[in-house]
Structure 1
Amino acid sequence: MNPTLELACELIARPSVTPDDAGCLELLAQRLAPLGFDCQRIDSGPSGERVHNLWAKRAIPRTGRGDAAIKTIVFLGHTDVVPPGPLPAWSSPPFEPTQRDGRLYGRGASDMKTSIAAFVCAIEQFLGQNTQPAMDIAILLTSDEEGPSIDGTRVVVEQLQARNERIDWCIVGEPTAVQRTGDMVKNGRRGTLSGRLTVYGVQGHIAYPHLARNPIHQALPALAELAALRWDEGNAFFPPTSWQISNLHSGTGATNVIPGSAVADFNFRFSTESSAESLQQRLCQVLQRHGLDYHIDWTLGGQPFLTATGDLLQAASAAILETTGLHTELSTSGGTSDGRFMASICPQVIEIGPPNASIHKVDEHICLEDIAPLTDIYRRTLERLNALAAA
């Protein structure tokens, strides 16, 4: 069996639904330690809901050189998976890795346990050919990417920043491909800013509207204006910022009562052309112009990040071409990833992974023919970056 496939199966067999790690990190630490990695657990969160994090780093001898002179590449990923959903709907048990019809089935097969297995196997192959590399190599793994993402990568990045860890390049193993591994690389992600808007009115009998104030009637014109606003035009890498309402709640349940408040949940997915602060300010100006009595609870899920060019993108693109013959497409589409946290301390962050068509679905899978190329892309990227570090 292909080593990456074998390790992926071992990981899929562990039911690591967020935030449970189910022993994945211990398995990986045991695999990395013999390669010279110092494996540190940086777990976080309340008792009973503890998030499991692993920071594993293989540092080269300094031999008179300071840390600033040595490059570091980090592979970033998550061992947690979303719940499998209704078990009878699966063609095979979600935590029993199953091969059929040229595919590997199981929860996490695509998102993203195969990528983690490819990280490890690529590093093993690289170190087998480069016993004295010119750069440090690290892996950061968490069990809290699919969940709140509060005690996972963000916490580890804060600790790395506090101790002045230098990180030059980061590869995130999120499933980024469309048809074949390597056909798309994410070189950035949009920011995400959510809000819960509460518009206050005056509750009353529906037959006496002059004695009440209907918050739904007051809110709708403002919401319609917000939905029609052009927040920015985007740029060469990002589409225009979007604003969407996800939930709208009001009413007591009775048909003869004007409600006292209305609540709308909304979200911005924003480009680098806008800031969270500017979006907040513009939205509040609309609400104030409509004379609303309101309150907003804001949640900034992540800032946008972008790697427009650089050594990492060039090395990865060349590795993809050499492995697959594909000229990869760059994209910033899709949701958020933990790359948004790493981007705060690392100047070059990209995402490379397998096709994402089945992620979070029943019968999640990856084509077997996509596995070996993924490992090769990671290994060849390491080789190119190592040559740069040694120059």
Structure 2
Amino acid sequence: MPTPAESAVEIAQSLIRCPSVTPLDEGALDALARPLAAAGFACERLRFSEDGTPDVDNLVARIGSGAPHLCFAGHTDVVPPGDTSLWSHPPFAADIADGRLYGRGASDMKGAIACFAAAAIDYVSARNGIVPGTISLLVTGDEEGPAINGTKKVLAWMEETGLTPDHCLVGEPSNSTVLGETIKIGRRGSLTGHLTVTGQQGHVAYPHLAANPVKGIVSALARLYDTPLDSGSTHFSPSNFEVTSIDVGNPATNVIPVRAEARFNIRFNDNHEAGTLKAMLSDSIAATLANTELGFTLDFAPHGDAFLTKPGALDRLLSQAVAEFTGKTPALSTSGGTSDARFIKDYCPVVEFGLTTETIHKTDENAALADLETLTAIYRRFIARYFETFGDGASGDNDGR
């Protein structure tokens, strides 16, 4: 009988061999459901649709009933491999070489899904199929894409069917270089904007007869860059404003254009909400362009606010398991980009811990076999301690929303 670590590698290989580039599934959810179903998990496939976005397959696998309910969340979809000729191992072959498992998704995040599945199966087996509560896996195929028909809709379905988790662990890669460095307890918010400044077209030799929108947009963006949003907060780094593109679309060198456009993104901490940031941006741009002949419009994409899971019993249990198997005390962090934890936090406390970010989205993405073994052991211990802490009448200090 394979050890949990050996099972994790086998499951990870079966997942990697499915070329599940968003939004395709290509058999990935079936590859995960098979070992879970064999261990007694009830596996339900959920397919969601919405106009203008691709249909997405999702999986909810669960065993046990009632509280406490520990959910593991992850995604089997991956980013494209790019030029496959640049890979030293085919991106979907799941080759093992020099103590590493190669393939797209090895670190982000099929490896972590496999580790949790193996850990949960071992826990259930050791208890002869009896769970003092509920263990579930929420696995989507829509995290690397629009994130419309995935985790958000699965959570709504779970709430409607009485399966809302009490706590959640997301297996996103959370460590920069070494397993055990970091547990994520929150994420900054993200706000993307599109600024258009309009003026009056004219000849560059007669600027007094025109109104140059380029000058206006550069001044407006410079003002936003030069005005710090904040100096950070207890658990968050300072918010940052970054311009991602400036476009004029003017092929002529002797014509002042009529329009200039810019796109930008703000990653913001818990000092702000998206609504107040939008108002601040509009006021700043309006003040910059006051007393000019320039006009502007400012549009925003859908956004996510910052969130924090208050440090407490959940991250302590995970930290203890991490320290036991790595010898490290992980830092509690809110750094990095976004994840599906931004949806989960509306239903229950959520923390994130997975493999390293060193090779994610890169050519030759890989995960060390030693890390897969250690992560499986961490998850296995965390599951056991979770039910010891929150089950059978026990209580923790962050066991509510």
1:108-147 to 2 correspondence within 5 Å? 108-130=105-127, 131-147=129-145
1:297 maps to what in 2? Answer: 299
The equivalent residue for 1:63 is none
Q: Percent identity?
A: 43
Q: Do residues 200 (structure 1) and 198 (structure 2) align?
A: yes
Give the conservation status (yes or no) of the 8 Å contact 1:187–1:350.
yes
State the superposition RMSD in angstroms. Answer: 1.7
Within a 5 Å distance, the mapping from 1:279-318 to structure 2 comes to 279-290=277-288, 291=290, 292-318=294-320
Cα distance in 2 for partners of 1:212, 1:71 equals 67
1:261 aligned partner? 259
Between the two proteins, the alignment pairs up a number of residues equal to: 382
Deviates more, 1:271-280 or 1:178-187: 178-187
Deviation at 1:132, TM superposition (A): 2.1
Mapping of 1:45-124 within 5 angstroms? 45=49, 49-60=54-65, 70-124=67-121
TM-score (norm 2): 0.91
Match of 2:399 in 1: none
Cα deviation, 1:251-270, whole Å, max 9, x if unaligned, reads 32121221111111000101
Q: Where does the alignment leave 5 or more consecutive residues of structure 1 unmatched?
A: 61-66
Aligned to 1:337: 339
Q: Does 1:362 align with 2:363?
A: yes
After TM superposition, give the deviation of residue 57 of structure 1 in Å.
2.3
In 1, Cα distance between equivalents of 2:43 and 2:373: 26
Task: Give yes or no for the alignment of 1:32 onto 2:29.
Answer: no
Matched residue, 1:41: 45
CA distance in 2, matches of 1:230, 1:302: 20
Distance 1:207 1:233, change over 3 A: same
- Aligned match of 1:352: 353
What residue is the counterpart of 2:19 in the other structure?
A: 15
SS of structure 2 residue aligned to 1:381: helix
Give the equivalent residue in structure 1 for 2:398.
Answer: none
Q: Distance in 1 between matches of 2:31 and 2:92?
A: 16
Alignment partners' CA distance in 2, 1:180 and 1:171 = 19
Query: Paired residue for 2:273?
Result: 275
Match of 2:321 in 1: 319
TM-score normalised according to structure 1 size: 0.93
Counterpart contact for 2:187–2:306, Cα < 8 Å? yes
- Within the candidate set 119, 132, 153, 2:151 is matched to 153
CA distance in 1, matches of 2:38, 2:16: 23
Q: Quick one: which amino acid aligns to residue 54 of structure 2?
A: E
For the residue of structure 2 that corresponds to 1:344, the secondary structure is: coil
* 247-256 or 120-129: bigger deviation: 247-256
Q: Deviations over 1:250-291 (max 9, x none)?
A: 132121221111111000101011111111111111111122
Shift of 1:134: 1.5
Q: Could you give the per-residue CA deviations for residues 60-98 of structure 1, whole angstroms, max 9, x where no partner exists?
A: 2xxxxxx5xx21111000001111111111111111111
- The residue matched to 2:11 in structure 1 has which SS? helix
Aligned equivalents of 2:24 and 2:80: distance in 1?
A: 11
- In structure 2, stretches of 5+ residues that fail to align are 395-401
Counterpart Cα distance in 2 of 1:148 and 1:301: 12
Tell me how far 1:178 sits from its aligned partner: 2.6
Deviates more, 1:305-314 or 1:187-196: 305-314
The separation in 2 between residues aligned to 1:158 and 1:202, in whole angstroms, is 49
Kindly state the Cα deviation for residue 165 of structure 1 after the two structures are TM-superposed.
3.7
Rounded to whole Å, the distance in 2 between the matches of 1:7 and 1:166 is 26
**Partners of 1:251 and 1:258 within 8 A in 2:** no
Shift of 1:358: 0.5
Q: In the TM superposition, what is the alpha-carbon distance from 1:163 to its structure 2 partner?
A: 4.5
